Amino acid sequence: MEVVVMPSYEAMSLAAAKLVADILNAKPNAVLGMATGSTPLGVYQELVRMHREEGLDFAQVTTFNLDEYVGLPRQHTQSYHYFMHENFFRHVNVSPGNIYIPSGTTSNYRSFCDWYEQRIKDCGGIDVQILGIGSDGHIAFNEPGSSLSSRTRLKTLAKSTIDDNARFFDRPSDVPIYAITMGVGTILEARQLVLLATGANKSQAVAAMVEGPVTSMTTASALQLHPSAQVFLDESAASELKMREYYDWVKIKKPHAPPV
Ligand code: PGA
């Protein structure tokens, strides 16, 4: 795991967007794993800017989103379908037929989840998966206790997640209780993982993910098992890390290492 602490949210977002753009420039038909939430917005804004001003091309790209609320139709302003359309897809040239977001309204969740897993495989697997982290240490909606080999499935959200997300809904009782989410095992199969975290309310979850034991109590700690995971943090999200000096040392020295 590579931990990169950036001086600000903006700098962190630009660094992560550049990483995605580099992958796309090397492989124009890359499969991108998308995340929702407030954290990746800066990355999406920068990718949109690169598309408009530098011609970054998404024409051959396929995308898979991590999760969706159960029970929200795609036009609902808090659905992740809506979020992705508003914040990313309507600004770039991903072909609509290449966009995959879990359905929150299927009549058969089990078979939908199996189909979603199969689509990821049929599209060649995810090249780079963007991730946020919940204050309870979740990735996607893999709440504490989720198996580290879990696959796409319907999940009951933790109370803390429902509380965290209540800010987006008119009434707390409007927040969905269930979601459909890629599993930790699904996420670990992506070739590269890029996790972003910002703000002091994520600092404990970040410390547990990076420096704590690998445990289903912090599903983000599964990133320790991945051969190519990068964690981009701003100063406040990094504030509880004990090995901070080492991460900064690596950031300075790694660019000068012999080519591998
Ligand atoms: P946030 O959500 O980016 O809105 O903080 C992250 C998450 O819960 O995964």
pTM of structure: 0.96
Q: Transcribe 102-121 into DSSP letters.
A: --SS-S-HHHHHHHHHHHHH
Q: Whose CA is closest to atom 4 on ligand 1?
A: 37
Sign of the CA dihedral with 182 first, then 188, 191, and 194 last: positive
Indicate whether residue 111 lines ligand 1 (CB < 6 A).
no
Q: What is the pLDDT of residues 220-252, one digit of tens each?
A: 999 999 999 999 999 999 999 999 999 999 999
The set of residues, in sequence order, having a beta carbon less than 8 Å from that of 192 and lying 6+ positions away, is: 23, 127, 128, 129, 228, 229, 230
Average pLDDT over residues 114-135: 98
Give dist(CA 190, CA 127) in Å, integer. 6
Examine the pLDDT at 39 and tell me if it is beyond 90. Answer: yes
Whether 187 lines ligand 1, by a CB cut-off of 6 Å, is: no
141-187 confidence digits (pLDDT tens)? 999 999 999 999 999 999 988 998 899 899 988 999 999 999 999 99
Cβ 80 vs Cβ 165: under 8 Å: no
Which residue in the block uniquely carries the two structure tokens 């206790």? 145
Task: Provide, rounded to the nearest whole percent, the portion of the chain with pLDDT above 90.
Answer: 96
21 CA distance to ligand 1 centroid (A)? 22
- 42 CB near ligand 1 (under 6 Å): no
What totals of helices (H) and strands (E) does the chain contain, helices first? Answer: 8, 10
State the catalytic residues.
67, 136, 138, 143
**CA distance linking residue 120 with residue 117, whole number of Å:** 5
Residue nearest (by alpha carbon) to ligand 1 atom 2: 37
Asked whether the beta carbons of 70 and 106 are under 8 A apart, the reply is no
